Amino acid sequence: MFDVAVSFPGEHRTYVEAVINALSDKIKNEKIFYNGWYTPLLAGLDLDTVLQKIYRYRSNLIVAFLCGEYQEKEWCGLEARSIRALIKDKDLRKKIMLVRLDDKEVDGFFDIDGWINAKTNSPKEVAEFIHQRLNGEIIFPVSIKNDTESQQDHTDSRKTQPNEVSPLSVNRIDKLAYFTERFPQLAKLKILLVKTSIKYPVKDDGDFGIPLGLWMLKGHLGTIGYKFDVSIYDERLLLKIAGNDETEKKKVFTKFENYVKDYDVIGVSLSTSEVFPAIEKFRIAKKLGKITLAGGIFAASNEEFLLKSGVIDYVISGVSTVPLSELLARLYRAKQEETLSELTKQRPLTIRGVATGNFNAFESTWCPSQLPTMRKGLWIEILKQYGKYIDKKVDIYTARGCIGNCMFCSVQRESRQEVYQKDCEEVINEINFLNEKGINYFSFKDENFFSLPNRKEILEKFKGKNIKFKIRARYDQMIDNKISLQELQSCGVVEIQYGLESPDWYIRKNVDKGDEDKSDRTALIDFIRSHSDYDIKANCSFILGIDGEDKQYYDNLLDFIQKIYDGKSQPKIYINFLTPHPYNSKFELPKYALVTKDLNYFTHKHPVCFVKGKKLTQKLQMLDVYDKIIKHTCSEKYNLTADKMVALRKIFLNEDQGLTDDLEYPKTDGAVI
């Protein structure tokens, strides 16, 4: 995948090559498609097909150098056809950047199109503009400060032409951003991104952690050129600050109503267990006349359920920075026109990739080509707010998403079974920067660190340095790819998280784990125990409540745990309960019966369902082995003890038939209807 591809006529190769040489000082050569560097590739018979694939599918940004000769060249004409096809797509047109070498007309490009003037900008300046565009930055030319300054700062030879605009102003959104900068009296759109607490946290700290997704959004929205004022309201951080002071904790839950008054748009990211607390916050926001939007894992497959709650105006499905940006840009415009309050469910905006009250207008989910980069300024802000609570440890993404189809996992629904990744060099730079700020422990949040072959390069960059890493991996891939624990130890890996789910392949098969039959139980035991030889903590999660379990299985599971956990080998043990992820407002699991529809319990740490036909005796056996495993492994820190599950355990044991499979809304007190 190229970061940038250039299209130009040979007559202007000298100027373009100077641009490319200047650009290569900022990004790697292999990230630039310049035909002078790919002569062997372009010497084949299907050059037309090759070029179309490069421009349409394998480039993040296309820079076209337009001039009279561009109109006349056969290959430029072919490239122009590909570019014009992109222009017709309102999402893909954002990949295009125009540079004018002269004033002659070129078919398919119009006076209203934004462009950079090569006659008044040096190759080095154009390279800088391209680099800014790739980084999502926006720098306005001096000529638009104001009319007086423009006349003072420019000679006749450096006057901005009528349609010469900022490097980013090549589409509808960026043209509005141009005027935002020119007329600073325009009001800011105030946006509050919310991370809500959950009712039944697993850990004593309320499952506290930095909400990286919201911070990435904040950074992204700060670079697209609008007067957006973006804040993050992290309820879990506020509870962490409150500590054990119950009076201060109560104040946290009443603070939101006063805090939200100052904002125009309220957005909440949702996992299943966050839905009910979020709906309560949306109710408060709607009473105050705010525009509300929902995103996150739950939103990716339950748009209609959220919209019919009556308190959510827009749902952002999946990993969708572009639709969100366009929605907020339209809301920003409405604020300038003083029509923001009118954008309710009776007159919602229609944007591709955004679900609204007019549900039939929801076209499709937009998916990115890669994850946004976390800028250094964001990390500085994060460390300032969270630094004293994170013990020099941070989570970091190199990729997001999963190609698997595990029945219990919701990440694949959010990512549409795609994996979105960051460039390795960006991740390495991020780690180096944070290490300079005192961070020495990094937990990679990728679902499977080795699903992308080049990820190992990141670890190798830090060999011999005093930096520690936690990664997630799959046992079968570690074995198949012969990944050495000794080598990982030399790179600073101190913990590896495995979603084992079960030591029995037939049980794993019943939740579509997707691994091959590796039923050598002894080999798996030896593998887990071997981590202690290299001072690497094995972090193993298991699931209870899967179809196929019986008394013999529970006895074998306990025996397995006892063999991997003893005085020498002490892996972290997480025991989860099978927790269905709702889809299209229903729980589509025909073999299982729900015991509650209270989504507050859907943390994977409560027995919310059972296999249809299970008797009371079998349920008791499952809970008994759970308690024995927790006690044997001293893993109360990672799993709920029986005294914290009393209410739902009682419901779980007494429910025979199960509930209907449709989702229900919470009452105003937060309980399910």
Q: Which tens digits make up the pLDDT trace of 224-238?
A: 667 889 999 999 999
Least confident of 102-106, 485-489, 566-570: 102-106
Rounded Cα–Cα distance for residues 307 and 313 (Å) = 7
Does the pLDDT at position 177 exceed 50?
Answer: no
CB contact burial 329-344 (16+ within 10 A = b; e otherwise):
bbbbbbbbeeebeebe
Rounded Cα–Cα distance for residues 464 and 476 (Å) = 28
What is the predicted pLDDT for the residue at 92?
58
3-state SS, 435-448, equals HHCCCCEEEECCCC
- Residue 429 token pair: 């730079």
Rounded to 5°, the CA angle 398-401-405 comes to 145
Query: 220 near 316, Cβ under 8 Å?
Result: no
End-to-end CA distance of the chain: 50
| Sheet strands (E) in 129-258 | 189-195, 228-234
What is the predicted pLDDT for the residue at 414?
54
Average pLDDT, stretch 432-443?
95
Q: How confident is the model at residue 282 (pLDDT cuts 50, 70, 90)?
A: very high
Does the CA dihedral 475-478-484-486 come out positive or negative?
A: negative
**pLDDT top residue among 550 and 79:** 550
Q: What is the percentage of the chain residues whose pLDDT exceeds 70?
A: 76
- Residue 530 token pair: 């071997």
**pLDDT top residue among 451 and 671:** 451
Average pLDDT, stretch 495-510?
90
What is the predicted pLDDT for the residue at 401?
62
Burial class (CB in 10 A: 0-12, 13-18, 19+), 381: middle
Does the CA dihedral 544-547-551-556 come out positive or negative?
A: negative
Structural domains present in the chain: 2-180 (3.40.50.10140), 189-361 (3.40.50.2300), 515-673 (no CATH)
Judging by DSSP bridges, how do beta strands 189-195 and 265-269 pair with one another? Answer: parallel
Rg of the chain over all Cα atoms, to the nearest angstrom: 28
- Residue 477 token pair: 């891939």
What is the predicted pLDDT for the residue at 327?
87
What is the predicted pLDDT for the residue at 42?
63
Query: 627 near 551, Cβ under 8 Å?
Result: no
Does the pLDDT at position 91 exceed 70?
Answer: no
What is the predicted pLDDT for the residue at 489?
96
- What lies within 8 Å, CB to CB, of 33 at 6+ separation is 2, 4, 5, 6, 54, 58, 59
| Summary mean pLDDT of the chain | 80
> Bridge-partner residues for 230, per DSSP?
191
What is the predicted pLDDT for the residue at 387?
93
Does the pLDDT at position 317 exceed 80?
Answer: no
DSSP for 351-404 reads: -TTEEESSGGG-------SBPPP--HHHHHHHHHHHGGGTTTEEEE-SEEE---
Rounded Cα–Cα distance for residues 217 and 279 (Å) = 21
- Residue 488 token pair: 């990982």
Q: What is the percentage of the chain residues whose pLDDT exceeds 90?
A: 36
> Bridge-partner residues for 501, per DSSP?
542
What is the predicted pLDDT for the residue at 643?
87
Residue 598 CA: distances (Å) to CA of 93, 198, 312, 559, 664 = 44, 12, 19, 34, 8
Rounded to 5°, the CA angle 272-273-279 comes to 85
Residue with tokens 């991104």: 193
Q: Which tens digits make up the pLDDT trace of 259-279?
A: 999 999 999 999 899 999 999
Average pLDDT, stretch 367-394?
82
Does the CA dihedral 360-363-364-365 come out positive or negative?
A: negative
Highest mean pLDDT: which range of 240-244, 418-422, 448-452, 661-665 = 240-244
Query: 117 near 126, Cβ under 8 Å?
Result: no
What is the predicted pLDDT for the residue at 231?
95
Q: How confident is the model at residue 45 (pLDDT cuts 50, 70, 90)?
A: very low
Does the pLDDT at position 23 exceed 50?
Answer: yes
Cα 40 → chain centroid: 38
**pLDDT top residue among 656 and 560:** 560
What is the predicted pLDDT for the residue at 581?
82
Q: Which tens digits make up the pLDDT trace of 513-559?
A: 666 665 688 999 999 999 999 999 999 999 999 999 999 999 999 99
Does the pLDDT at position 363 exceed 60?
Answer: no
**pLDDT top residue among 128 and 468:** 468
Rounded to 5°, the CA angle 376-380-326 comes to 60
What is the predicted pLDDT for the residue at 50?
73
What is the predicted pLDDT for the residue at 578?
93
